[in-house]
Structure 1
């Protein structure tokens, strides 16, 4: 939780909120219940689901605002709506509209709400706006840093996707292994064949060895290239070679990228 309390004013009644690490607002249950005419906040929150109510240490968050050493209940946005629906107070609908149309949009847009009173002069309002602006900039910096980290993590995969997009149709399993290896995956042709067999995409034995399974064909991951071979004694046989489609290349990179290689027999 962000230990900075934001105080809102609804018709003279105080509503205190905090935000969690994900930027979602939480409301002090006592304040909500006071506004909604509920006399027993502890009893009111028992009707909420476990993920809709939490407790905070008043010494960490409320300071001198709370003289009790008892934990303070706070409710999430869904929990707030449930309490509103249970209220019989005529102002409940007006309170909900105020929260949903004014408070929450401004919190999510600017990182904070700027409550003002008639006693606030322009400099006071400006100071509050600057404080919220600084907090918003810090939040944006954190988001940008997280996005840049994610971009670095995905860059090799993006290069692979570009290679697939530029490729013309199908490729051999060995060629797919080379593309994977060039983009940081420690695997060779023989190991990739065994991995595809182990995962049920290629047959394991007999005449079906390294032939795409029906499941793999139904998914459109392979095509089979058939080549007629004429032997010295005149008889012919048909050689079947699996070729990975463009869809299959994308499918296998999404499935295997970053996966720790299983313990397979030694091979290239």
Structure 2
């Protein structure tokens, strides 16, 4: 099931959890940021005016891309290799059948998003390379440097770091004397970043240890949803 609020599609969390075979929907909701979830009253058969948790597109991808379960990986592959290309090729509404599965319901939800959101086709094209890159990332433990994170998100390193320093993200700040990029406490507490102790040697100052900001898998998923794919401005010929 899907609802549209301010021309944005929101999926019923219990339906998404059914597709991903996540047994505890409330726990899944706790893993999402406040801007990725909301509640709505839905009239269900036999359960009138039931309050349901709904999630937006960022929340949907957060659950899919951060899940290590085989079911989630299969769903991610099905979503990016079959559903989205089918929507792009055939378009139109899907007929409703009594035997509809959660997967077909999700497919129609994506169709609705394709119709109601401006430039949806361009955004869906961005989703495919992101999902492909995260296929490998989902099986990898550890932290990622700012340079590697920029590559994974498809951004030039300098502009990527600027995004992390500036509003609305503001995960990093520049030390006033050393000029080093350092992580704020909040993204570390939220699990988006961590700090790795690095020791360097200088001819004049000798040995120096400092905290190098690193980005977690959860942080990469969040950034991918927030900043999208880098799109440089085209120069206008004189």
**TM-score range normalised by the length of the shorter chain:** 0.3 to 0.5
TM-score relative to the length of structure 2: 0.42
The one of the two structures with greater contact order (alpha-carbon pairs below 8 A, sep at least 6) is 2
Which structure has the greater CA radius of gyration?
1
TM-score relative to the length of structure 1: 0.38
Q: Pick the structure with more strand per residue.
A: 2
